[in-house]
Chains A and B, each alone.
Chain A
Amino acid sequence: MRILTKRNGIIALIIFAFSFPYIAQNDYYLHMLTLSFIWAIAVYGINLLSGYTGYLSLAHAGFFAIGAYSLGLLTVKAEMNFWLALICACLITCAIGFLIGLIALRTKEHFFAIYTLCVGYIIYLVIDKWEGLTEGVRGLIGIPAPGNIGPITFDTAASQYYLVLIFLLAVILIMYRIIRSLTGRTYMAIRNSEDLAQTIGISTMKNKLTAFVLSTFFAGLAGALYASFIRFIGPDIGSTAIMFDLLMYLLVGGIGTLSGPLVGTLLLVILSQNLQFLQEYRMLIFGPLLTVIIIFYPRGIAGAFYDWQRKRKDNELSGVRGELHIKAEEG
């Protein structure tokens, strides 16, 4: 019986995550962790499209902003119920994502990256300039916290932490189910060779579009949670700076791995909180880090860990084989 199995490890992590508010009686850590969970949800969205399907999207900060602004506008200006607004925000993001994906996915590789970069910029500019709707640079103030569900309220830091944690776990579970299913295999087939995928009868456009819309859904959900958590949003959340931050979380954690987005986001958010004195200049370290990682560890920390594990297993196996060989000779 081994205690250190993967399953037990995951269970221990989840128990730790749930007991965290009791262990750390500190609202600051809770706030930071909640925020990084929200970012992680968005990074999972990018990972689905860029990591598994092979399309580098640079528009996801835009979709994040669309989710956030949809929720903000629906609750502040239309005074809608929070939960209804959350669902609507995700649907709006998906609808816009669907329309953009329909066109964007006709392009490939570099064109797709450039196209989405421009789409992201257009979203940012529209939010920034359309003052009648979005209040422009002044931002949207007074977004309500999540509404009550029966007796459960969300007015303390711990309760909001749990809310976001549950959403994050759900997102990870969905991702796990997707990549273990035929759908996930299909996405990876498209990533590895789109022509080949088409040859074996995969409708690439349909699958790419599903992946794109799903990934915008995650980004929109993260945006909506962000808006209700921070309770103030400005056009900056759709800027390319945020996009590059998200991309960096993904790359450092490991693109195309299941645990990568969470590992990368937690690590970098905590690191940049501790390097607060560097705030403006943190890219002096993170920029070269990104470049070095992509050159030497293209699958990030999670990928490097998997490789190490596999190598160890291979060594163990060859060791066992060697022993058997010796025994056979002796016998």
Chain B
Amino acid sequence: MEILVQQLFNGLTIGSVYSLVALGLTLVYGILHIPNFAHGALYMLGGYITLSMMTLYGVNYWMAMFVSIIVVGLLGVLLERFVFRLLREAPPLHDKIAAIGILLFLEAFAQFVWGADFHTMTSPYGQVVNILGLTFTLQRLLIIVSAIAVMVLLYLFLKKTYAGSTIIAMSQSREGASLVGININKVAMLTFMISGGLAAIASSLASPINLVFPGMGHLVILKAFVIIILGGMGSIPGAIVGGYILGFSESLGATYISNDYKDIIAFILLVIILTVKPTGLFAKGER
């Protein structure tokens, strides 16, 4: 029983991280219909920037995370402006390949600057807490709380502010949005900014319990794709729910099925879903 509760808690932790990554991915997909394969590299870069801010400049954890959000967000804006905007009229194949090119570059770049070694990030919240016979580190609790706070903020931003509603408008219909005078280019850049920022938050939160290395984005991005297919491409609640579903099934699968094969669970899940329903669960009535 105790193991079960402990694993549920772990699932909640990784689920929070997955949800944040998937949210960024689904936002971009909803607006521009690009499966951004480079999102995992943004996630990785976010972790590195937070880490080097902390180790090189001795900035505190939150400040480092803030810098990381800004830098990665701006990088997202650059990608939109100089790569994806030029490909807007191109066949969908081209976006994917361009994204893969960016992914390869960013990974090589990280390896060039920071080396191929594994780094550990020490968080100021390493204390072990004991609540009702359950032990966990404060960092894990922090991940859950911050992730939920970010999600609530994002929800408020999208629903209550003008800028947020332009994003929603554009995801509903690009033509319609530009007819009512929304500047599509600005909205696209804003979306990429938010998407990059979310990736940076996710990796800064997750790095203290994982490791920082050039390939850290691989599995995460693949799983984020599984999540947004699970939750419907472009759907925001879908990304959150999907993230937690995957988090729980992984942590339970690792305990009760096999630790070796826990990474495969997500992919098996995806293969099953797409086998049964080729357009993904909860797909909006496209085409």
Assess the B279–A290 pair: CB atoms within 8 A: no
Contacts between chains A and B (CB distance < 8 A), count: 121
Per the bound structure, the CA–CA distance linking A255 and B100 in Å amounts to: 15
A96 to chain B, nearest CB (A): 13
A114: B residues at CB distance < 8 A:
35, 225, 229, 270
Cβ of A23 < 8 Å from any Cβ of B?
no
Cβ of A8 < 8 Å from any Cβ of B?
no
Candidates A104, A255, A281, A289; contact of B101 at CB < 8 Å = A289
Q: Which residues of B contact A (CB under 8 A)?
A: 29, 33, 35, 83, 86-87, 90, 92-94, 96-98, 100-109, 111-112, 116, 218, 222, 225-226, 229, 233, 260-261, 263-264, 267-268, 270-271, 274-275, 278-280
Per the bound structure, the CA–CA distance linking A253 and B96 in Å amounts to: 17
| Segment with Cβ contacts to B, from A10-18, A118-126, A178-186 | A118-126
Of all chain A residues, the one with the shortest Cβ separation from B107 is A283
Given A56-B96, A103-B274, A280-B116, the answer on whether A288 and B225 have CB atoms closer than 8 Å is no
Candidates B29, B96, B271; contact of A122 at CB < 8 Å = B271
Interface residues of B, dominant DSSP: helix
Of all chain B residues, the one with the shortest Cβ separation from A283 is B108
Candidates B86, B93, B104, B218; contact of A56 at CB < 8 Å = B93
Interface centre among B101, B106, B111 (most CB of A within 10 A): B101
Assess the A110–B233 pair: CB atoms within 8 A: yes
Interface size on A, residues (CB 8 A): 42
Assess the B100–A244 pair: CB atoms within 8 A: yes
Assess the A125–B264 pair: CB atoms within 8 A: yes
Per the bound structure, the CA–CA distance linking A110 and B86 in Å amounts to: 19
Assess the B278–A295 pair: CB atoms within 8 A: no
Assess the A106–B108 pair: CB atoms within 8 A: no
5 A-B pairs in the complex with CB atoms less than 8 angstroms apart: A118-B270, A125-B264, A129-B261, A290-B97, A291-B101
Cβ of A117 < 8 Å from any Cβ of B?
yes
Extra contacts, 7 of them, besides A110-B96, A294-B101 (Cβ < 8 A), are A106-B275, A107-B279, A108-B278, A111-B279, A118-B270, A244-B104, A295-B87
